[in-house]
Structure 1
Amino acid sequence: MTPGMGGIGKTRLGLQVATELLDTFADGTYFVSLAAVSDPMMVIDTIAHVLGLEHQHSGQRVSTEHMEYLKAFLHDKYLLLLLDNFEQVVSAAPELTELLIACPHLKILVTSRAVLHIQGEHEFPVPPLALPKRTQLAANEDLAQYAGVALFLERAFAIKPDLAVTEANIQAIAAICVHLDGLPLAIELAAARSKLFPPRALLQRMTHRLDVLTGGVQGVPARHQTLRNTIVWSYNLLDETEQQLFRRLSVFVGSYTLEAVEALCSAFADGAGQVVDGVASLIDKSLLLQIEREGEEPRLVMLETIREYGLEVLAARGEEEITRQAHATYYLALAEEAEPEYGGPQQVVWLERLEREHDNLRAALQWSIEPGATQQRIEIGLRLGGALRRFWLVRAFVNEGRAFLERALAAGIGVAIPIHAKALIAAANLAIVQNDYPCTEALARESLVLFRELEDQEGTVFSFQLLGSALYQRGDLAAGSSLIGEALALSRKLGQTDSLAWLLYQQALFDIGQGEYTRACELLEESLTLHRKNEHKRGIAFSLIQLAKVLFVSQGDQVRVHSLLEEGLALARELSDKDSLASANALRGQIVFNRGDIATARSLLEESVRLRREVGSRHSTAES
């Protein structure tokens, strides 16, 4: 592991090491950022997600099954994991030992502010950049040869190409770097001020700030005080409006859009008038980064060390609660805006957008159920959880969604009935995907009572669907079929083409189980027609693949089987939908097996099993 304080360059060093070792690890090197993870129980899930192995096992917070699956996957792999920002989840360190013991060829490089104290740990502390001794500052020596001074000059020349490299200036710059203990982040922040201050003037300011830290916070390491005061110094160079924006931006986690910043600031009385100029200024002053990816809008990032200070001053000014509420309100609005789009042609666009915003969605969810959360906060969380249901389903965050909804529902006693009912049905939907039929039944029954009380017929249809599916899977075929029949009749009456399409699909699954292939084909054809009308890509994929399966099993039109399957597979890949990909690969495996291609069949069927295990679903049920 590479221990070191914030801003010392652990991540940069780790990435450089991983890059230079690319040829050493036949199965690759993987970067796992834990900056947005505060729950130690999410570490294994996060590693699995980066590896594409989101195993949505039964149970809310226990990762034992997930760990076993990860160990099995990594057992024979020659692979390097770079785990970045481990300090806030240090209690998960023993799980790394367990992985290493089970996987003899696995190597793990950890960056952390804290040593892990686990078996097999080798420490490679990240030292500060090389600096001249204080006694050498006035000596006739090439001070630019020291890494700290060289870094300052590199950054300063980037923003002020005409910086005079005189002996006096070099000595002042070296003195600045010494005062900053050779910490890369602190040096870069100081160099960014070269546009405003010549080196000697900058040194005078630095000296004043460092004198102040001798009377600063007690009980924390001296280097932490130095870095803290470097950030304080940069913060104090901002005008009042910039300081306010800096504090507000600290609530964002990971990357975010300018639109999100404007929306957050518009929630305050002073509005979002100068947000664009303020963001540009913070970027110029190295307190904010802008990242660009081809085909995407630029996103903003505040380094975690700087963000930590921002949160402190936000709380000290008594602004944290109102700012976090504005943050959560924006992401709630985004999730609720996305919700109706899941059933139409923009489905993929919105799924990708929510994936990019996932860190901030998680932060809003966590804030809503923190100890002592108000009723208003819990309601925001329950609304957000209800709106994210389909995102969690498609992108295989089922376990995470269930864990959140369980906690939020337990804390949300007395919330508004419509919010409670929607959260219950979302939890039921996630439960049935993990084949937890008793839980599905209990949640669906509770939601049904509330939807009936509200006279919400759409909600009633969904409750019937999940309850009927759960009862059928538990062996009560008559009750299950009866409820699905009621849901179908009510859905037709209401003209709900989206829910009707999924109910037809569900009934077809029941018929397949009874060997009623002709009727199942008719229902799937009708379901496919409705999904095509709605341009619901996931629904189209499910219906296509299932229809191809029925035709294959029933010895129907085998030419059509191929065309249906290929179209469904293409959509499943576009959506990155593991559930439908698993179904498609299972059918492909059966087809090539019948042709005598045993090797290909085995490969496809093994892939299908892997995907099924990740999703945690044996049956494609209960979508809407």
Structure 2
Amino acid sequence: MAPARTGALGELLVRHRTAAGLGQRELAERCGLSERAIRDLERGVRTPRAHSVRAVAAALGLAGDDLSAFLAAARPVPARDAPPVPAVPSTVPGDLIGRDRELAALADLATGARYRLVTVTGPAGVGKSRLATELAATLAPRTGLAVRTLDLSAVYEPELVDELIAGALGCGTSALPPVERIAAHLRDRRLVLLLDRFEQLVAAAPVLATLVRRCPGLTVVVTSQRPLRVRDERVVSLRPLDPQAAIALFARRAAAARPELRLTDEIETGDTGAGDAGAGDTRAGDTAEAVAGICQRVGYLPLAIELAAARVRLLHPVELAARLDSRLQVLTDGARDLPPRHRSLRAAIEASLEVVTAPGRTLFRWLGAFAGGAALDAVEATATAMERDREWLLDALTELVDINLVRSVDGGGTTRYTLPDAVAELAARQLADGPDRTPVMGAVAAHFLDRLRRAIDGSGPPVPDHDAANVRAAIAWALAHEPGLVDPGAIHAIHRFYEATGRLAEGRDLLCRVAAAGMAAGWVRAGQLAVLRGDLDDAEDLGVRGLEAATDPELRSAALSLLAHAAVERGQPRLARARMRAALVQARRVGDVGLIGRVLNNLSSISVELGRPRDAQRQLRAALEAKCRAGAGPLERGRTLFNLAEVALEMGDTANAVDQGGKAAELLLAAGYTRLAAVAETTRGLALMRGGAAPSTALAAMDRAAALLDAGDDRRTAAVVDLRRSVALHAAGELAAARDATRRGLREALRHDNRDRDELADALQTHAWYLVRRDPDAAAALIGAGRAVRRRPVPAALTPLIDQTVAAARSALGGRRFTAAHGRGADAVDLDALCDRIAVPPA
């Protein structure tokens, strides 16, 4: 068999398309093929599939003699002894970088007897064909073993496979079917057959399975973006290169492209780390950093790395790294003697799409709407909005995963579906150019904003941090195209999401964009995130904007609460109380019991600041009752229980602090508020310590807290956890770790003039208690430092401990030395050096 008479077919196709007044893109949309597929058919560079030819004929409306002539032009013509189709190497054999382990393993599989049908899979550009070329060169010198290669990249008809293999093996022609001829020709002869680019021919996989059963000495190694799914197949998944191998590959190819730059030397010496580096070392460091960044941004794919390295003819790596936002436009400079699919990254990805069904291509385009991948429920919601059922979705998604265009990864208990960056870029471009962009983007935006709302009211699970890019994109789309999606409930939910994930700066900026679009609630919610960042000037400015723009009592109440919160942080409790009482008046005007509960919760913090913990306790109990009556979700109840635990700890009621802190952590975790849950765990840990529990028990709670902290710019929460955990580490005898945690916490606490200083004072003075017996001088200094940084009175529960520490230090040092040491600490000139003494073990 031989390829079809594609020249005749191309001429007919151009003639009929032109007569119908259709462009290549219009015809492609009508028949469900890609525009490139139509272009290739007209140029005669591919063997057409039978169903593709019939689809084109139907789209052109061909009938009668025109249809017969068109179909006849697409049929294969017989040929005698078709010559073997050689594999096309991408580079010379022996020049493979970073694949030694994979090559050795594949060679063992190819020459062993256990597996005789081996499929090398992996995404486009990962180097499957290159590895097959190197395998052939590695096996060829072996005696008693024949190696044959067959490049099937231009073949699209599965029914041609057996005849092409027979031709490649030199079986000749006869009346026998191809498989029979091959079996008679090979008998028990040892032979490795390498078949490159089989993904468009997987329907012929049973032929390969039959061949290896009929020919005991035959091993077939296939490269394919998707597994064959036949019995006895051994699948070898080829992954991107490791970072060091990727850098080495870039250096080798870049040096060949522009040897005068001496890039290899710059890359290899770029990590000097010398503090007094000269200009040359600085440039080398910049180059090495740029190359590492390039390799990372192209996903460590060999093809992408080689295409990037080719660009060095025009751009230094530092310049190239700055231009990689659009990978598909930059990575297009492959060698002219390579197959078209290897000359650009886009062509490689599009070649993968050519063998995907129409539903798969549609879903691929829709996945371009997800900025950071998505779980199945998000994809399913989009498919439902586009009137596709679950079976359609699962079939299309399975196909995309099988062919390595989509990756399925563990998303913390749920499977997430992600696209490599360059693949996602192509999907997004196809969606932007497609007819369904608006409904798909709208469905995705609506889904994520609805998920945020349901996470807040407790009717849905928390939105995880790895959906942050999708949330960000949803907000941007809604503001630009469907502002009605961003109502006050959505704004509150957006604020809660960014508070929970610790992405405070990003959330603040997005909410300001919401406010600038005419939704005043954005100012208030942005200000609440500014308070958490410790930027009180910004918080007050945003609170005033929100108050001035507020047209309803509910928003006025929220703005006044924000301004009160800022005043508390500044150490102005009386101003804060006046503002919070005004907020309570506005909440009562609304008549919203849940809102009243939130204001009462906030009022309690002012009572604590004024040294009235019993008033705070009463307000918090009333807040919890109001929230429960309003049907509040776990987040709101968890926040109030956490505050009750804090007040109990301050009052020395350790049993209630342990109980309420544990309940708060459980509720906050259920709501996805891992950062606040972490602080609740530390409250419980401190209460355990002060209640006489073993240090290891308290430290276990602190360790759970540290494990709950994740990505984000919420450094204040991390500082609180560090400071509290440092005390438990000290009590448990882990002195160096205690010192390090104290240092981390104090740096952040001293950045702001707010309540973080009280946390630091508590930690320093508790450290003094554990230190006084082995270093009374350091203990006296820590007591002084704590008093110097503290903003409000010492909590009642800590007063006895501090008094006992002072008495013990004074007794050990004498009055004069104690006063001198205390004064050094109060000067707080070098707290880092003071912290060093925490790590000094007993003599």
TM-score normalised by the chain length of structure 1: 0.57
Shift of 1:443: 0.9
Deviation string 1:282-303 (CA, Å, 9 cap, x unpaired) is: 445554455678964x543444
Shift of 1:357: 3.3
Shift of 1:259: 4.6
Name the SS for the 1:300 alignment partner: strand
| Residue among 537, 542, 562 paired with 1:466 | 562
Equivalent AA in structure 1 for residue 591 of structure 2: G
Shift of 1:386: 5.5
Shift of 1:430: 0.8
Q: Find the counterpart in structure 2 of residue 358 from structure 1.
A: 468
Cα distance in structure 2, aligned partners of 1:142 and 1:15: 21
Q: Find the counterpart in structure 1 of residue 248 from structure 2.
A: none
Deviation string 1:32-85 (CA, Å, 9 cap, x unpaired) is: xxxxxxxxxxxxxxxxxxxxxxxxxxxxxxxxxxxxxxxxxxxxxxxxxxxxxx
Cα distance in structure 2, aligned partners of 1:507 and 1:15: 64
CA contact (8 A) 2:410 2:416 kept: yes
Name the SS for the 1:350 alignment partner: coil
Q: Find the counterpart in structure 2 of residue 30 from structure 1.
A: none
CA contact (8 A) 1:153 1:191 kept: no
Equivalent AA in structure 1 for residue 373 of structure 2: S
Shift of 1:248: 2.5
Q: 1:284 to 1:562 in 2, by over 3 A?
A: closer
Q: 1:581 to 1:229 in 2, by over 3 A?
A: closer
Q: 1:165 to 1:221 in 2, by over 3 A?
A: same
Q: 1:450 to 1:592 in 2, by over 3 A?
A: same
Shift of 1:143: 5.8
Matches within 5 A, 1:177-196: 187-189=223-225
Equivalent AA in structure 2 for residue 357 of structure 1: D
Percent identity between matched residues is 18
Q: Find the counterpart in structure 1 of residue 674 from structure 2.
A: 577
Residue 132 in structure 1 maps to residue 248 in structure 2: no
Which structure has the larger Rg? 2
Cα distance in structure 2, aligned partners of 1:381 and 1:258: 24
Q: Find the counterpart in structure 1 of residue 522 from structure 2.
A: 423
Cα distance in structure 2, aligned partners of 1:165 and 1:367: 54
Q: 1:303 to 1:219 in 2, by over 3 A?
A: closer
Q: Find the counterpart in structure 1 of residue 446 from structure 2.
A: 333
Matches within 5 A, 1:259-270: 259-264=377-382
Residue 550 in structure 1 maps to residue 663 in structure 2: no
Shift of 1:465: 0.9
Q: Which runs of 5+ in 2 are unaligned?
A: 1-90, 103-124, 150-189, 232-306, 308-327, 707-714, 722-747, 757-843
Residue 592 in structure 1 maps to residue 698 in structure 2: no
Q: Find the counterpart in structure 2 of residue 80 from structure 1.
A: none
RMSD between superposed Cα atoms in Å? 5.2
Between 591-600 and 580-589, the greater mean CA deviation after superposition: 591-600
Residue 523 in structure 1 maps to residue 619 in structure 2: yes
Shift of 1:427: 0.8
Q: 1:150 to 1:541 in 2, by over 3 A?
A: farther
CA contact (8 A) 1:342 1:390 kept: no
| Residue among 365, 368, 371 paired with 1:250 | 368
Deviation string 1:333-377 (CA, Å, 9 cap, x unpaired) is: 23432344345444xx521x4445334224445677xxxxx9437
| Residue among 295, 302, 319 paired with 2:434 | 319
Equivalent AA in structure 2 for residue 358 of structure 1: A
Equivalent AA in structure 1 for residue 366 of structure 2: R
CA contact (8 A) 1:247 1:310 kept: yes
| Residue among 575, 593, 618 paired with 1:497 | 593
Q: 1:310 to 1:567 in 2, by over 3 A?
A: closer
| Residue among 456, 474, 481 paired with 1:376 | 481
Q: Find the counterpart in structure 2 of residue 65 from structure 1.
A: none
| Residue among 120, 142, 146 paired with 1:141 | 146
Q: Find the counterpart in structure 1 of residue 548 from structure 2.
A: 449
Equivalent AA in structure 1 for residue 600 of structure 2: L
Residue 220 in structure 1 maps to residue 333 in structure 2: yes
Shift of 1:261: 3.5
Cα distance in structure 1, aligned partners of 2:192 and 2:692: 65
Q: Find the counterpart in structure 1 of residue 768 from structure 2.
A: none
Cα distance in structure 1, aligned partners of 2:101 and 2:509: 32
| Residue among 547, 567, 572 paired with 2:663 | 567
Deviation string 1:5-57 (CA, Å, 9 cap, x unpaired) is: 9xxxx9x99999xxxxxxxxxxxxxxxxxxxxxxxxxxxxxxxxxxxxxxxxx
Q: Find the counterpart in structure 1 of residue 505 from structure 2.
A: 399
Residue 536 in structure 1 maps to residue 647 in structure 2: no
Name the SS for the 1:132 alignment partner: helix
Between 128-137 and 558-567, the greater mean CA deviation after superposition: 128-137
CA contact (8 A) 1:541 1:572 kept: yes
CA contact (8 A) 1:327 1:364 kept: no
Shift of 1:511: 0.9
Shift of 1:542: 2.9
Q: 1:343 to 1:154 in 2, by over 3 A?
A: closer
Matches within 5 A, 1:40-189: 128=131, 130-133=134-137, 141-142=146-147, 149=194, 160=205, 163=208, 164-165=210-211, 187-189=223-225
Equivalent AA in structure 2 for residue 388 of structure 1: I
Name the SS for the 1:330 alignment partner: helix
Cα distance in structure 1, aligned partners of 2:545 and 2:561: 14
Q: 1:560 to 1:390 in 2, by over 3 A?
A: same
Shift of 1:435: 2.2
CA contact (8 A) 2:509 2:526 kept: no
Deviation string 1:366-400 (CA, Å, 9 cap, x unpaired) is: 677xxxxx943788789876542111112322233
Q: 1:131 to 1:474 in 2, by over 3 A?
A: same
Q: 1:378 to 1:15 in 2, by over 3 A?
A: farther
CA contact (8 A) 1:260 1:330 kept: no
Q: 1:469 to 1:306 in 2, by over 3 A?
A: closer
Q: 1:590 to 1:238 in 2, by over 3 A?
A: closer
Shift of 1:583: 4.5
| Residue among 355, 379, 388 paired with 1:272 | 388
Cα distance in structure 2, aligned partners of 1:579 and 1:586: 11
CA contact (8 A) 2:199 2:225 kept: no
Equivalenced residue count is 446
Q: Find the counterpart in structure 2 of residue 514 from structure 1.
A: 610
Cα distance in structure 2, aligned partners of 1:587 and 1:15: 50
Equivalent AA in structure 2 for residue 461 of structure 1: S
Q: 1:584 to 1:496 in 2, by over 3 A?
A: farther
CA contact (8 A) 1:465 1:483 kept: yes
Q: Find the counterpart in structure 2 of residue 388 from structure 1.
A: 494
Name the SS for the 2:343 alignment partner: helix
Q: 1:155 to 1:600 in 2, by over 3 A?
A: farther
Deviation string 1:544-591 (CA, Å, 9 cap, x unpaired) is: 233233334335x55444433332343345445323432541463255
Cα distance in structure 1, aligned partners of 2:569 and 2:200: 64
Cα distance in structure 2, aligned partners of 1:461 and 1:450: 12
Shift of 1:462: 0.9
Q: 1:381 to 1:558 in 2, by over 3 A?
A: closer
CA contact (8 A) 2:527 2:562 kept: yes
Q: Find the counterpart in structure 2 of residue 106 from structure 1.
A: none
TM-score normalised by the chain length of structure 2: 0.44
Q: 1:154 to 1:558 in 2, by over 3 A?
A: same
Deviation string 1:219-266 (CA, Å, 9 cap, x unpaired) is: 523475266444323323345554333323233244324553454456
Shift of 1:522: 1.0
Shift of 1:604: 6.8
CA contact (8 A) 1:468 1:484 kept: yes
